[in-house]
Amino acid sequence: MRRKYSRYRSSMLEKIERTVIRLVIACTVLLALFQLRLITDPVDFYLKIAGDIDTPAFKYSQYVNEDKKITLYFSTNPVSPVLVKQNGQTLGVIGQGLEIKVEQGQVELDASEINYPVTVDIIYNEKMQSLNLHGDVKSFTVKLKTDQTL
């Protein structure tokens, strides 16, 4: 009796083992077919390879004005008539605020006619910087980003 039970048990284990092996083989074949389909599908292949060619690369020069000018935003605290100069020319007067386009180079802030301290806030490339003026002239340098700096 014991022998019959053992034979039944071993045949059952063999059936389960054969079934598991068959499932593993079937899954391996299916996986290989799906992988092959992804490689040889012409639409996916085109989208992967030609997609990079079709989309142009980002070029910073496209987003800079043709005249190579940079926009600066000024404000003063307290509100004061500070002159903005470049290359000896007065570009504007900061009162309650000023948006001005400047060329690359030195920009001067002239508060020589004001006899009290003034703080000038400058927004350039989304960064804010402050200069303190007390009846004097201060300058700062503005540089244009180029394709090589990105």
Enumerate the domain spans of the chain. Answer: 2-54, 67-144
- On average, the pLDDT of the chain sits at 76
Distances (CA, A) of 52 to 46, 48, 49, 55, 96: 10, 7, 6, 6, 48
The CA distance from 125 to 145, in Å, is 10
Q: Quick check: pTM over 0.75?
A: no
Is residue 40 exposed (0-12), middle (13-18) or buried (19+ Cβ within 10 Å)? Answer: exposed
- Of the pLDDT bands very low, low, confident and very high (cuts 50, 70, 90), residue 12 is confident
Give me the residue label for tokens 């006899």.
Answer: 115
- Of the pLDDT bands very low, low, confident and very high (cuts 50, 70, 90), residue 92 is confident
Distances (CA, A) of 5 to 1, 13, 14, 17: 6, 12, 14, 18
